[in-house]
Amino acid sequence: MTEQNSPQSLNILVVDDEINVRKTLAISLETDGYTVTAVSNARDAVAEVTKQSFDLALVDLRLGADLGMDLIPQLLKQSPWIRIVIITAHGSIDSAVETMKRGAVDYLTKPFTPAQVKLVVDRVARLRALEQQVAGLEEIVGQSRTDLSLKSSDPTMQRTLNLARQVAPAETTVLIRGESGTGKGVLARTIHGWSNRAKKPMATISCPTLSPQLLESELFGHARGSFTGAIRDNPGRIASSEGGTLFLDEIGDLPLQLQPKLLRFLQDREYERVGESLTRKADVRVIAATHVDLESAVAAGKFREDLLYRIKVIQLDLPPLRDRTDDVAAFAERFLAELRGGKLVTGFTPDAMSALRAYRWPGNIRELRNVIERALFLCQGDQIGVEHLPSEVAGGKPAPLSVGDSISLDQLEEMHIRRVLAKAKSLDEAAKTLDIDVATLWRKRQKYGL
């Protein structure tokens, strides 16, 4: 098997009421390097799948008075990603078709040989690996435009990247600090890609975007009926990133009431879903990011000191673009090549490049990309000039914020939000200045690329 399909990546549940079959399967699979849990009945199978995450279940069609095919929807309810193979001494076309309808992926008839079991399990392992690779590729494609932010000639940035590469293979919690737009999310995904967990999922939660109740549900999961609108079970991001990485973006905005629960998970890897008392465990590495001063937040009583110490075992600091002036020209050229499409724009005039280098970039790399995209839209020649840049970037005075100017509401709003964010010390402070909630501010930042 290839490395990405290695047996160590599968956690297998065996459900069979015959002790000799359970032992034989467990020994055979463990010899091949898989992790195996074996139980004799449906009740114990459901109990196990609620406590830990399984990739594959080998389920006997007849479990005493119960039917294995009746267990299929129960296992899928707890673990939607689990693959189920039915094993039975009573094989028939009808029963095979019925188990497939209920969600099984394969069918194994007793008596079977170790080679037959290995063939079926290896097939599931390859399927699981492909699913995780597709998920990883989707993440990469979705973020490929911003990967440029990790290419730098700046010594401070290079030291940060070198430290990130050193800590990537470890299981240590990492805290990434830097202003908005400096590439914290990109660095988190890069660390996951460099780590031993790269073939497993990576889940992202943006802490400012949801209410405390919804954020708790999204993070830990919830049981059906646990609150209004909970019409089905939700496994949560922790469960969905089993074996992989959980990225908590802007952790400084994590509600205070959720911080003890996150602290407990970081310490013990244990948690409960909303509306349940069952304690679950998960093997998940946590990477957090923030642009706020967490020490000041601790002093203000908005962030727990013990949680701060727990998440900043390793701290990576991303310098702002204004301190990486040598990178501005390189980023501008890369974004130009990426965004120009069929336009015959070959570069920048000297004055335009001087203006780009002189600007302070409060929105950092994200803002630079947006400026290049705007300039390309306006440019009708072969070079981007100063006249194609926003007035604040070109060196002139920003457009006045007064009613009646020849400017759209969206442009006016974007300019105002950009300046408030540049001056504010936190998202909370910016939201208060704008008289909107943090979630609304986050959506507007996404809209304008701030």
Token pair, residue 21, equals 């079959």
- Please compute, for residue 405, the number of CA atoms within 13 A of its CA located in the half-sphere on the CB side: 13
321-448 placed in CATH 1.10.8.60? yes
Our separate counts of H helices and E strands in the chain read 19, 16
Domain parsing of the chain, residue ranges: 3-130, 151-317, 321-448
* Alpha-carbon distances of 357 from 152, 324, 360, 387, rounded to whole Å: 15, 9, 8, 16
Q: Which two tokens stand for residue 103?
A: 């969600």
Of 264, 296, 283, 294, the C-alpha closest to 175 is 294
318 is written with which tokens? 């991303």
- Predicted pLDDT of residue 143: 47
Scanning the structure block, which residue is given the tokens 């609304």?
440
Kindly tell me the burial class for residue 297, based on how many C-beta atoms sit within 10 Å of its own C-beta (0-12, 13-18, 19 or more).
buried
Please choose, from the candidates 391, 388, 425, the residue with its C-alpha nearest in 3D space to the C-alpha of residue 406: 391
The answer for residues whose C-beta is within 8 angstroms of residue 420's C-beta and 6 or more apart is 430, 433, 434
Please, what are the averages of pLDDT over each run of 10 residues along the chain (450 residues)? 45 88 87 86 86 84 81 81 80 69 80 84 78 56 49 86 92 93 91 91 88 89 77 84 93 94 95 90 95 92 95 93 88 90 88 92 90 91 92 67 61 77 73 84 74
> Which residues have CB under 8 Å from 393's CB, separation 6+?
355, 356, 359, 371
The domain 151-317: what is its CATH number?
Answer: 3.40.50.300
The whole-number pLDDT of residue 407 equals 61
| Residue partners of 94: CB distance under 8 A and separation at least 6 | none
**Which residue type does 83 have?**
R
Q: Side-chain half-sphere of 333: how many Cα atoms within 13 Å?
A: 10
Tokens of 331: 């980023």
| Fold match between domain 3-130 and domain 321-448 | no
**Please, are residues 98 and 53 in contact by the beta-carbon 8 Å criterion?**
no
> What are the backbone dihedrals phi and psi of residue 155, each rounded to the nearest 5 degrees, phi first?
-60, -40
CB-based contact 174:246 (threshold 8 Å): no
246 DSSP 8-state letter: E
Q: Is 3-130 assigned to CATH 3.90.190.20?
A: no
Question: Cα separation of 447 and 437, whole Å?
Answer: 16
Handedness of CA 331, 334, 336, 341 (dihedral sign): negative
